Copies of this chain bind each other. A is one copy, B any other.
Amino acid sequence: MGEERRLRMGMVGGGPGAFIGPVHRIAAEMDGRIELVAGAFSQSPERSRQAGETFRIHPSRAYADYRQMIAGERKRPDGIDFVAIVTPNHLHLAVALAALEAGFPVMSDKPATATYQEALKLEAAVKKAGLPYGLTHTYAGYQMVREARAICAAGSLGKVRKVAVEYFQGWLSRPIETTGHKQAEWRSDPARSGPGGAIGDIGTHAFHLLEYVSGLEVTAIQASLRSVVPGRKLDDDCNAFVRMNNGAAGALACSQVAAGEMNELRLRVFGEEGSLEWRQQDPNRLIVKWLDKPEEIYHAAAGYLGGDAKAVARTPAGHPEGYLEAFAVLYREFADALWAWKRGGTASLPATLPGIEAGVRGMRFIERAIESNRKEGWVEF
């Protein structure tokens, strides 16, 4: 693996003011497998150029439009190897389709698309293209999430009976979408965000984490959505009951009006013999509680961890890894999958890396939650 050159990435979205563009750049490049060489960072040519400068890529490769980028890069001998999509949600489908059509693998920010119908369309396109498609459900990249997943898979907790996941933020406690806050603006605009507000932006993360770690599937949901801030067009607070395919049940909650919270994503899984708990804001610890034994704290990079966790550790125990490192794990796995594919392998991703199936499932979750809220009752998945 060592001798292969770095994969070349073209980014769509991520222009000035975007939070997630630089995050993708750092994450993609962190492990030395990828470099950002081109981008259509903004629909404004001027802003795209500016972003290109910030990213220190050649001016000729800061495109004003993703179609131009795809066309331009296809012609270059040193053209990009894949496309990273970091636009607002409503553009995800179009960009992904264009990239796939042009033969470029795709690494996309979540959610996969703006609607469930779009997601089905994209799924078909990915399958047809036979190209790798990855989805950056960031939290799946955390080392201790990998350990939690392995613990569930091993059955150490006994049969899972109860789950609880919540994702609380407070940054939309005020109507900042009306005062020029770019992030808030598109996220609370149904035309750009899709039909889900908090449920789409962060509820999908909670949903994915729940299924990813527990190894279970949600089979039914009852959700109660609210738009707490007056005038807001999309939901900003949600409580839901969920039922899992093994008979377990539990709660899923998300909010962007939980004033005082920053990014409180927290998962708990309760089995017959014990339970585990992970918090994104304290990511290098995994708490495991037992019926008959002392509570345990598993620490990132410790020698006693399982293989999945160890595989993604970069620094020794006690040297905190964070959000960017988790993100980079996904890019690293995507790069390795890409190389394998380029060497003639399949387009499939490792089980640890979310792909189009997770994308479809996330969009289904949004759609089901909204439907449940509408009819004030349970809906099947």
Within 8 Å by CB of A173, from B259, B291, B324, lies B291
**A273 CB, nearest partner CB in chain B, Å:** 6
Do A295 and B293 have beta carbons less than 8 Å apart?
no
Interface stretch of the complex, out of A24-32, A64-72, A127-135 = A24-32
Report yes or no: A237 in contact with B162, Cβ–Cβ below 8 A. Answer: yes
- Interface contact A260-B249, CB-CB below 8 Å: no
Find A275's partner among B30, B164, B258, B325 (CB 8 Å cutoff): B258
Range of interface residues on chain A?
35 or more
* Contact (Cβ within 8 A) A253 B164: yes
Residues of the B chain whose Cβ atoms lie less than 8 Å from the Cβ of A249: 224, 226, 237, 239
B262 contacts A317, C-beta separation under 8 Å? yes
State A298–B270 Cα separation when bound (angstroms): 19
Which A195-242 residues have C-beta < 8 A from chain B? 222, 224, 226, 228, 237, 239, 241
How far does the Cβ of A325 sit from chain B's closest Cβ, in whole Å? 7
How far in angstroms is the closest Cβ of chain B from A336? 14
In contact, B255 and A162 (Cβ under 8 angstroms) = yes
Contact with B along A324-338 (1 / 0, CB 8 A): 110000000000000
- Given A304-B293, A324-B314 in contact, is the A253-B251 Cβ separation under 8 Å? yes
Contacts A164-B253, A226-B249, A259-B272 given; 13 further ones with Cβ under 8 A? A22-B314, A174-B291, A239-B250, A255-B270, A257-B270, A258-B275, A260-B289, A261-B289, A263-B316, A281-B320, A321-B322, A322-B322, A324-B324
